[in-house]
Structure 1
Amino acid sequence: MLLPELAEKIVKEVRKLIGEEIIVVNTEGFIIASTRPERVGTFHEGALITSQQKKKLIITERDILHLKGAKAGINLPIFFQREVIGVIGITGDPEIVTPFAEILRKMTELLISENYYSEQFEWHSRAIETFVAEWLQAKEPSPALIDRARALAINLDINRTAAIIEFDHQDHPLSRDAWSSILKSIVQNNTDVAARSGNGRIILLIDSSNSVIKKRLEAFLSFLKNNFGISAYAGVGQKANPLELRYSYSQAKRALKIAKSKRNITFDEDLSLEMITGDLTSKVKADYIQRTIGPILHEHELLDTLRELFRQNHSLKNTANSLHIHINTLHYRLKKTEELTQLAPGNIHDLLCMYLAILFLDE
């Protein structure tokens, strides 16, 4: 429970409050951390007595004559869940250091408790992550998977919707405390299942209507932005029974591709053309772009004009107004686009070809 690494952290933190020599001792009486490295590994009889009697021990100059490895000061038992797990010792005049004793003990116990629960969170988080990854791959839950679900208090009989939240350009790993705060924010009831997927993605399996899911995701994305400066987007699948949850997850991945390009929350049920294009490989899309709008890839003015034309549902008047150009200028740009690409914006087939190309390009 009280490992040397944690003991060294305790020594460093406590030293900020008091300038005296500090030691942390295990329940066998051996020093595992000290402000004086040469004392680490040596036996401290006073600390052993403190551990056994479960109460503080004041050591005077007279006491050090018969207590092996001891120095004048005070030793205090460190409790965790009502059990002694170690001893913290402060060397110095007992009359001077004793007033700090209880404060330092409480600080030490808080550090240990915080470390324990952080480790528990990390273990639970990793267990959920592994479980969800296997669950989304399984065609049907195996007995082992069912047992693990029971151990993790996950109900496998509930229909759920899969959602994937992805962070935008998350270069640096988040701390354990940050992840704890993030996952606690997104999980709101005992049917929610949230798992990390790498450092920049969260898989959320949720039993709610799409309207509720949208509100919750909007609130969560605002939480990420306001508290961690993280911009994120999300793809949401369709509700599925536990045996078909992998399909909802596949739909969420498809929706995420669109959400990534639009930087928003996208539901798979709202997709139409993207249902077909989403399964195409990057190589096919790149080849398609070259065969259609390849000649104008460096003509940013023409590309922006096409994008706006599609946003305005092919309304020439609205497109010209939105771009703040004369209608004749718009006609000139579209004619130039046709000359370079051999695709006519006024032809429904050619227009669809250009729309798909712009769609792929923006991905």
Structure 2
Amino acid sequence: MITHVDKNLAAQIIQTVKQTCNQEIHFIDHDGIIYASSNNAKVGVYQEAALTALKSQAMVEIKEDNHFNNIKKGVNLPVFHNNSIITIIGIAGDPDEVRSYAYLAEQITQLLIRDQELYVSSRTETEMRNYIIQSLIHGRNLNQEHLYTCLAQMELTKTASLRCMVIKLHSRYNLTNIALIEQSIYQLFQSTSITLYTYNYPNEYIALINDTQFEACVPVFQNFAKQYDHIINIAIGGRFEISHMANSYRTALFTLKSLANKHTPFAVFDDLNLEIILTNLDHTTKDNYLLKTVAALSSEEMELLEIYYEEDMSLTKTCERLYLHKNTVQYKLDRIHKLCGYNPRKFRDAVILYIATRIH
């Protein structure tokens, strides 16, 4: 909670009010000392009327100059925030003329103080979210009690089941434009009621999703991934209790890695099967496998195989997707058999070719 107006903020307010008021404007502390002023020579000067305003908790008006006590006419207005006086504003001049300027300065001060508190509150919440997520996904929290207190503030219990979602920007994306996609990502979190998320430098966003809302959110995530295809990939890890979020994060990263072998920007760990094996293959192994099996095939023939297996080896459905006659598709499948030596229609050969399409 903010309990005083600092010098920088006071100077900003003075500069604003000075545009409409030509009188001296002072900000005075609880000891009656001017700490900011439109007249730098007055900084450090004691202002007795300000202490009177502080004690009475009301505006004090000096209607005449008193040269003997070096007191000039003007007003001294205490400024309240959360029922406490945070500063006293003094403006020199005829009270009837400068009173309105004092109230103007008061309103500006209160407005800026509220803005500062909102910023601090927002920043504090952002830091807390980041602390929670980093502690959970890396399993390196040193203060378990503090972590559980933070979880309670986010309305989560230590036995809740969550999933870790990773949204990763493609390396070729220009990070100078990150604000554009970032706004859309935060809107995605808001629309799906996700409150626990953070940015992970340089190109990763991490969110923890309550498993009870997961199924309803999947279509939204899929549509978002399609909308920003070629910019982001979205991977969702397995379901674990909150104390085992490191496992969910690990499976989310694994799922993210599996997308390199798929023609989709979205995947859930639960849906992986063959990918669990294929993702762990190194590039040399993959290249050797492709060289041995489908090196003689063109990209068009590889696409035919992909569609053929996606349609469960149905000639009719394959023809419909490719807008080809059944005889044409059969001819192309026969040609593939001749070129690579594996028959796409034979079960064992089909498995070999299917794996090739998945790592191609």
TM-score (norm 1): 0.66
Partner of 1:83: 84
Say whether the 8 Å CA contact 1:195–1:203 is kept in structure 2.
yes
Q: Secondary structure at the match of 1:239?
A: strand
Contact persistence 2:225–2:233 (CA under 8 A):
no
Name the SS of the counterpart of 1:240 in structure 2: strand
Partner of 1:330: 329
Q: CA deviation at 1:162?
A: 1.7
Q: Which has the larger radius of gyration?
A: 2
Kindly provide the amino acid, as one letter, of the partner of residue 330 in structure 1. V
Kept in 1, the 8 Å contact 2:28–2:50? The answer is no
Aligned-residue offset at 1:163: 2.6
Q: Does the Cα contact within 8 Å between 1:193 and 1:206 map onto a contact in 2? A: no
Checking the alignment, whether the CA contact within 8 Å between 1:78 and 1:86 is kept in structure 2 is yes
SS at match of 1:152: helix
RMSD of aligned residue pairs (Cα, Å): 5.0
Tell me the residue number matched to 2:113: 112
The 5-angstrom pairing of residues 48-87 of structure 1 reads: 49=50, 52=54, 55-56=58-59, 62=65, 76-86=77-87
1:136 paired to 2:137? yes
SS in structure 2 opposite 1:126?
helix
Who is 1:206 aligned against?
210
Are the counterparts in 2 of residues 164 and 256 from structure 1 also a CA contact under 8 Å?
A: no
Residue of structure 2 equivalent to 1:311: 310
| Equivalent pair of 1:125/1:196 in contact (CA under 8 Å) | no
Partner of 2:50, secondary structure, is helix
- Alpha-carbon distance in 1 for matches of 2:242, 2:108: 46
Question: Separation in 1 of the partners of 2:35 and 2:292?
Answer: 75
Task: Kindly indicate whether residue 191 of structure 2 is the aligned counterpart of residue 197 of structure 1.
Answer: no
Can you give the 5+ residue segments of structure 2 that lack an aligned partner in the other structure? none
In the TM superposition, residue 213 of structure 1 has moved relative to its aligned partner by 1.4
Alpha carbons of structure 1 residues 59 and 280: separation in structure 2 relative to 1, 3 Å: farther
**Paired position in structure 1 for 2:253:** 253
Q: Is the 1:158–1:207 contact (alpha carbons within 8 Å) kept by the matching residues of 2?
A: no
Matched AA of 1:113:
R
Determine the C-alpha separation between the residues in 2 that align with 1:67 and 1:294: 97
Q: Distance in 1 between matches of 2:357 and 2:138?
A: 33
Q: TM-score, normalised by structure 2?
A: 0.67
Between the aligned partners of 2:340 and 2:48, the Cα distance in structure 1 is: 84
Structure 1 residue 158: Cα displacement:
0.7
The letter for the 2-side match of 1:85 is I
Measure the CA separation in 1 of the matches of 2:358 and 2:335. 20
Counterpart of 1:206, as a letter, is: N
Question: Structure 1 residue 147: deviation in Å?
Answer: 1.6
Q: How far did residue 250 of structure 1 move?
A: 2.5
Change (3 A) 1:302 1:207: closer
Secondary structure of the residue that 2:34 maps to in structure 1?
Answer: coil
Q: Distance in 1 between matches of 2:348 and 2:82?
A: 72
Deviation at 1:284, TM superposition (A): 4.9
Amino acid paired to 1:249: Y
Q: What is the distance in 2 between the residues matched to 1:338 and 1:6?
A: 78
Residues 301/239 of structure 1: CA separation in 2 closer, same or farther (3 Å cut): closer
Q: Could you tell me which residue of structure 2 aligns to residue 151 of structure 1?
A: 149
Indicate how the Cα distance of structure 1 residues 207 and 344 shifts in structure 2: closer, same or farther if over 3 A, else same: closer
Offset at 1:273? 1.6
Work out the percentage of aligned pairs sharing the same amino acid: 19
Match of 1:274? 275
Provide the residue aligned with 1:355 in structure 2: 354
Residue aligned with 1:325, SS: coil
Contact 1:29–1:48, Cα closer than 8 Å, also in 2:
no
Determine whether 1:263 maps to 2:268.
no
Structure 1: which amino acid aligns with 2:314?
A: S
Inter-partner Cα distance in structure 2 for 1:334 and 1:19: 84
1:118 maps to a residue whose letter is Y
**Is there any run of 5+ residues in structure 1 with no aligned partner, and where?**
none
Hey, what's the Cα distance between the residues in 2 that align with 1:65 and 1:225?
79
Using a 3 Å threshold, how does the CA distance of structure 1 residues 285 and 204 change in structure 2: closer, same or farther?
A: farther
Correspondence for 1:125: 126
Aligned residue for 1:113, secondary structure, equals helix
Per-residue deviation, 1:201: 1.0
Q: Could you tell me whether the CA contact under 8 Å between 1:121 and 1:180 is conserved in 2?
A: no
Shift of 1:164: 0.6
Cα offsets for 1:206-245 (capped at 9, x unmatched): 252xxx312145557889999x9xx876443443345534
1:206-245 correspondence runs (5 A): 206=210, 208=212, 212-216=213-217, 218=219, 234-245=234-245
